Chains A and B, each alone.
Chain A
């Protein structure tokens, strides 16, 4: 079954169509890099896929189900522009909180495991507001992976990450893909994204201009997709 399917998705902000009849598919175990210029509709599309906002027309399905269904949400992981963890709580409290919200059998154990995997075990009791930017980003990554989601939705995941956080994220994404999980990520950082991606989709002014397998040519020349299918 297709992991992520967007069919004829439209989204209006007032009279402005941010998305125009977008079609998108991602199969299990694939990594789809969603690229496009600023304002092309990448974040809007990811937010609709994640169930944060509703499409004006068309539909999105995650393994055949609506993204807002509780069981579907259990299978989704999300990293957006913000880190989505609480400054007033410690790293451990944050992960335990999300472990409980995702009804993990042992939230405290899962929290400790992911603190270790992201190199934050030494600061587990430190409040997030005291963390450096890189540590906060790694905690955000741990929060998104904590419940072992089948589909990971990442909005500009490499932006503002330090080298260590990029390495952690790339390693975790490779592991996730090897385990058959699906990754959909929007990005401007083509080089990092194309190293991981198995497929590429280009959004141009709210429309899908291209979707296909990533080729060796794209890795060698990250601007190739834009040059052939980009701006009119």
Chain B
């Protein structure tokens, strides 16, 4: 079986299991919406203040909400020892990782795509002026979050306090990606296009995604089997 078919089998399985229970996505979506709404009431920022804090606010919400999905990624394999069956199956660790990462990416992205219009409405921000550029930044930032979250979900799967440990490990690693995504999102919402001054942040985000995806693909087998 080729790499992409193996990957897709894992992605479909994870999406199907999650959409049946909706454990992680419901929690993530509810968290994301509640935080956005609470912040809007708590601070009541002006339009200018909203634009300057938009990147930070959005990505902090996405990072925390995303962790709720990512924590479940390998934890889902623990009941019934399903992880043993996956490790025993004749598929590569890379395909297993990419399959899980893609499922997580789609779930986290879905939460973000629901949260963005809510952000626009509650903060009275016109966020669609550079819509496709913002979607690109959203995809790149979410992939970085997903890759780090998925590999650390695998690393902490057998730890008793994994729900606590995974975020503690994930957030420090994510700092370069989050900083890039925050800066780029803020610029795009403020009406500045991609390129010029913010190109360095875009490059940093792409480099982060490429490096950590490559590292995770190589390391997953070691993480799971030793």
Contact = CB atoms under 8 A, between A and B. Distances in A.
Interface of B: 1, 5-6, 9, 13, 16-17, 20-21, 79-82, 84-92, 221, 225-226
Contact of A101 (B9, B20, B81, B221): B9
Q: Which secondary structure dominates chain B's binding surface?
A: helix
15 contacts: A50-B88, A51-B225, A54-B226, A71-B90, A80-B84, A82-B79, A82-B84, A84-B80, A84-B84, A84-B85, A86-B17, A98-B89, A100-B1, A100-B9, A103-B90
A89 B80 CA distance: 13
Interface of A: 50-54, 68, 70-71, 73-74, 76, 78, 80-89, 93, 97-98, 100-103, 127, 143
Contacts of B80: 82-87
Given A78-B88, A82-B81, A86-B82, 12 more contacts: A82-B79, A84-B80, A85-B85, A87-B80, A88-B21, A89-B13, A97-B9, A101-B1, A101-B86, A101-B89, A103-B90, A143-B85
Nearest to B226: A54
Given A70-B92, A101-B90, A53 B84 contact: no
Contacts, number: 79
B90 A73 contact: yes
Given A51-B88, A89-B17, A83 B81 contact: yes
B88 A54 contact: no
A53 B225 contact: yes
